[in-house]
Structure 1
Amino acid sequence: MRAALPASGSLRLRFVLAVGLWVLLGIAGIWFTATQVFTRHIETAYHEELEVHVRELARLAELDGEGAPYLLRPLSDPRYEEPLSGFYWEVAVHGHPPLKSESMTRGELDQRVAHSPQIVHRIERGPTGPAITYGMIERGPAGEEVHVVIATDQRELDEDIAAFSRELSWWLAALATALLATGLVMIGIGLKPLDRLGSAINAVRGGRSRTLDGTYPAEIAPLVSDLNAYIAQTGQMVDRARVHAGNLAHSLRTPLAVITDEAERLADNEATRASATVLLDHAERMQQQIDYQLARARSNAVARLPGESVPLPDALEPVLRAMRRLHPDKAFAMQGFERPFSVAADQANLVDLCAILLDNAGKWAARQVTIGAVRADGGCRLTVSDDGPGMTDEQIARATEIGTRFDPDMPGSGLGLAMALDIAEALDTRLVLSRTTTGLAASFRVPLADKTA
């Protein structure tokens, strides 16, 4: 499975950026400090070595009977004998050709650096490039000035520093990689309980569980306990709402039925017929509002209960059997339910919504009503279609209004599609009515309760 990139603003991304920043700053600080310390160290070593060599050269330099310089023996460092090795020396006495190291097969050293009995140094032009040059003046037997100069190419020092910097960079890059990898592993381990909590919440939302299952660290356990308590309390509130809705329906319908019955009796009397007609008309409106508001309250209460799932097509088969008895002259069929699956929704709401749509389609269909399912992208689109006369665009726009009836002779109260719209909203979906080539289709989309598509 391909790992998802951290979302913007996530804790994982913040931790990754923090670890990356501190590793970058730490490695950069180590690299800068180490190169500076090494540079100072090697420069000091080079200068100390050259100072030793210039003193050694001054002790070995002698003058012959004619005052020409010569060396008692070669310097202890063999690099001064290798041609153009970058290590050179030169001894000069006024009036005589300078005595040069075997390494200096071309060019010469600047004798002006040797202008004092004290050792001085500076960067001068050497036989093979810029050179660190040391010089001093010694006195001969007759007081002659003997100029002793020794030099090392600057590139020798630069190459040593560059080699150290390259090797240090490789090692620090490896260390940075190891630190980043360790940091990512630690972040993954540290946030694993939050990932498990997220999966548990998704399981509750998807209807695969009614509680947040699993064991969590002490820092998260209180939150999980509170969420489970909230889920349980929500379930109890929904159950109470269902009971209250049923009690309210019973308490309102009974006196309304008495009023309707009395109004019908009054309608038999010529003197009270007009008043009875008014009472019957308002009683019917009251019955419509009671049915609508109770259905709306019930669907809204149920929609807040997490962890519900509906097995399909099992939950729809009783509805289809009821529709076939209610509309015996119509054929009700299912498509797309060959392989059972579940959707994340309240079963009562989903069944009520499908029942309303199937009943409405059964009233208007010529012969055939079909409920189909299409699964894609983690969701399922359910569509109820019929082969009836359909609706115009204006009728579709008004179809979900309370009490809308396009054919007074057709049985019904005009509440069906209005209640269907409210139930769809309670299911957090959108009910769409559309014309087809054969009639009307009503569709809505609900998420799958599992990963089966």
Structure 2
Amino acid sequence: MGPRSLTARVLMLATLWSAFALVVIAIVISQLYRQSAERAFTDLLRAQLYNVINSITIGDDNKLSGSPQLGDLRFSQPETGWYWIIEPLGTFAATPLSSSSLGTSNISVPSILTVPFNNRYERFYPATDAFKNHVLVAETEVVLDGEGRAARFRVSGNLSVVEDDIQAFSRNLYIALAVFGFGSLAVNGLAILYGLQPLDAARRSLDKVRRGDAERLEGEFPREIMPLANDINALIESNRRIVERARMQVGNLAHSLKTPIAVLLNEARMLDKVQSDLVRSQAEAMQAQVQSYLNRARIAAQRESLLARTEVEPVLERLVRVIRRLNPDKEFHLTVFPAIVALAMEQQDVEETIGNLLENASRFCKTGVWITATPASAPSGDETEAARRYWIEMTIEDDGPGLEPDQIREALKRGRRLDESKPGAGLGLSIVREITTEYQGQLELGRGTHGGLRAKLLLPGLAKDAA
């Protein structure tokens, strides 16, 4: 799962790739330099080996003679790991020669089977001298005269010189790459932020549409984003036309049915009581059903609209103010959390939903009603796109007698009234549930902390940063 932010995602990928690339580059360059340094060290030993060979001859006394001058003081300083050694071979019984740096010690010679000569009749092998120095030895065997007398020539160099050189180079390389890497990350970050600014501008413009401050995406966008902005504007305009057409059709249908139902209700008064009650009840039921399905059609047309937006606190304060005037002997407590800004619902639906619940709570409470609006998580079991929305939980609770579970199931049925002594048509809770369901929310009834009924609504909202 990657981050939700596109900017964070691009920055993270760029950072990871840059870090990986720099690590690989550092390793590759270090290895290449190591190979080059070791090859240069081998070439240096080879050159010094042949300098020693060119400096040695067999004297008139049949002894090895000569004094190699290699131009390196380390061959004359003891325990340095830099030595040259000349050993007679076969029947040639001359005294061996060695550099003063070796003293009286020697370096063991591996067998030819272990380290064979190459095609130039040379061999190189690591060794450890008597002073625990790790050295690399260059060796060859040379015939010194026409009588076939030969000697083994060896020159060694301290490997710590190579390792110190490689470590110094690697340290400087890592510092340089680290500075370059941090600089590149900073430049890449600025470039990414600058390149993604048009997307952020499009988001802010879309937020203005959600807040109702604009009717379309406005601003200058790059040509890569302009088609998307044009399509969104076309979608907003199409959605607006669909909503307006739906509202007009709902209004026309309501107007066309209003008169026939009113006529039926008026004519029912002229019938005898039994028939009048029957016709009136059926006409009222027809009127309620028509209104319910008209509301459903209107909500379905408006539900996914970007323009559906209702400020939470002003609407709740207005509803509480009205219901408080109707019930001056009751107390009403309203709490709206600061993060709550707006509901993604039509104001008419919010007022009808909360108003029905407030009316029921004020009707059955003893002393007061408590209204609370808080942020909430998605409806349980929701794995659709709605699960990623912002949700608001509203609770309306009273201190009345409350309802038992079987009474709650009965109260949610259309037209059912549990208390015939109280006024009402038995449609309030049913209407609340229908509106809530159409907005993909939830209605839950249960026993509250104050002893009465608690109605908990889960409704789609707009977060503070989106509103």
**TM-score of the alignment, normalized to the shorter chain, above 0.5:** yes
Q: Does 1:415 align with 2:440?
A: no
User: Please, which moves more after superposition, 298-307 or 350-359?
Assistant: 298-307
Please identify, of 353-362 and 65-74, the stretch whose mean Cα deviation from structure 2 is larger: 65-74
> Is the 2:76–2:99 contact (alpha carbons within 8 Å) kept by the matching residues of 1?
yes
Report if aligned partners of 2:57, 2:144 keep a CA contact under 8 Å in 1: no
Single out whichever of 218-227 and 123-132 deviates more from structure 2.
Answer: 123-132
Q: How far does residue 171 in structure 1 lie from its aligned partner after superposition?
A: 3.6
Assess, with a 3 A threshold, how the Cα gap between structure 1 residues 174 and 253 changes in structure 2: closer, same or farther.
Answer: same
Structure 1: 5+ residue runs without aligned partners?
268-272
CA distance in 2, matches of 1:259, 1:219: 61
Within the alignment, does 1:51 sit opposite 2:56 as a pair?
no
Which SS does the other structure have where 1:86 is aligned?
A: coil
Within the alignment, does 1:42 sit opposite 2:55 as a pair? no
| Matching residue within 3, 7, 11 for 2:3 | 7
Count of aligned residue pairs for this structure pair:
441
Structure 1 residue aligned with 2:464: 450
In the TM superposition, residue 287 of structure 1 has moved relative to its aligned partner by 1.9
Three-state SS of the structure 2 residue aligned to 1:148 is strand
Give TM-score scaled by structure 1 length: 0.80
Where in structure 2 are the equivalents of 1:325-336 lying within 5 Å?
A: 327=326, 330-331=329-330, 333-336=332-335
Aligned to 1:440, which of 453, 457, 462? 453
How far 1:283 sits from its partner (Å)? Answer: 1.7
Q: CA RMSD in A?
A: 3.9
- Contact 1:24/1:176 (8 A) holds in 2: no
Shift of 1:88: 0.9
Per-residue deviation, 1:81: 0.9
Render the CA deviation track for 1:29-82: whole Å, top value 9, x for unaligned: 5632x3454344333323332232222222322444433323246332222111
User: Following the alignment from structure 1 to structure 2, what is the Cα–Cα distance between the partners of residues 218 and 41?
Assistant: 51
Aligned to 2:222: 217
Distance change in 2, residues 1:181/1:8 (3 Å): same
Q: How far does residue 173 in structure 1 lie from its aligned partner after superposition?
A: 4.5
Structure-1 separation of matches of 2:253 and 2:151:
122
Residues 144 and 371 of structure 1: is their aligned pair in 2 closer, same or farther, counting only changes over 3 Å?
Answer: closer
Q: If the length of structure 2 is used for normalisation, what is the TM-score?
A: 0.78
Select between 132-141 and 219-228 the one with higher mean Cα deviation.
132-141
Query: 1: distance between equivalents of 2:372 and 2:208?
Result: 23
Give 2:334's aligned amino acid: Q
Identity of aligned residues (%): 26
Superposed, 1:39-438 pairs within 5 Å as 39-72=34-67, 74-93=69-88, 94-109=92-107, 120-123=122-125, 125=127, 127=129, 128-140=133-145, 144-202=149-207, 204-205=209-210, 210-267=215-272, 275-320=275-320, 322-323=322-323, 327=326, 330-331=329-330, 333-336=332-335, 342-345=341-344, 346-366=346-366, 368-376=367-375, 381-436=393-448, 437-438=450-451
- Structure 1 residue 296: Cα displacement: 2.8
CA contact (8 A) 1:365 1:388 kept: yes
Amino acid at match of 1:137: V
Distance 1:278 1:184 in 2: 75
Matches of 1:204 and 1:351, distance apart in 2: 23
- Partner-residue secondary structure (3-state), 1:373: strand
* Greater mean alpha carbon deviation, residues 380-389 or residues 203-212: 203-212
1:255 shift after superposition: 0.8
TM-fit CA distance, 1:290: 1.8
Structure 2 unaligned residues grouped into runs of 5+: 377-389
Contact 1:115–1:137 under 8 Å retained in 2: no
- 2:304 is matched by which residue type in structure 1? R
The match for 2:387 is none
SS in 2 for 1:443: strand
- Measure the CA separation in 2 of the matches of 1:78 and 1:7: 63
Report the CA distance between 1:281 and its aligned residue.
3.4
Change (3 A) 1:323 1:380: same
For structure 1, which segment, 316-325 or 423-432, has the greater mean C-alpha deviation from structure 2 after superposition? Answer: 316-325
C-alpha separation in 2, matches of 1:299 and 1:352: 12
Shift of 1:230: 1.9
Cα distance, 1:355 vs structure 2: 1.8
CA–CA separation in structure 2 for the residues paired with 1:262 and 1:450: 54
Preserved contact between residue 210 and residue 306 of structure 1 (Cα < 8 Å): no
Question: Per-residue deviation at 1:189?
Answer: 3.3
Aligned counterpart in structure 1 of residue 16 of structure 2, from 3, 20, 24 = 20
Using the TM superposition, give the Cα deviation of residue 406 of structure 1 relative to its aligned residue in structure 2, in angstroms. Answer: 1.5
Q: How far apart in 2 are the matches of 1:110 and 1:207? A: 91
Please give the secondary structure, in 1, of the residue aligned with 2:78.
coil
What is the CA distance between 1:289 and its match in structure 2? 1.0
Write the distance in 2 (CA, Å) between the matches of 1:221 and 1:19: 29
Mark the CA change 1:7 to 1:313 in structure 2 (over 3 Å): closer, same or farther.
closer
Question: Cα offset for 1:244?
Answer: 2.5
Q: Deviations over 1:161-202 (max 9, x none)?
A: 454445434444444444444444433333343344345445
Conserved? CA contact 1:324–1:332, under 8 Å: yes
Q: SS at 1:431's partner residue?
A: strand
2-side partners of 1:337 and 1:95: how far apart? 108
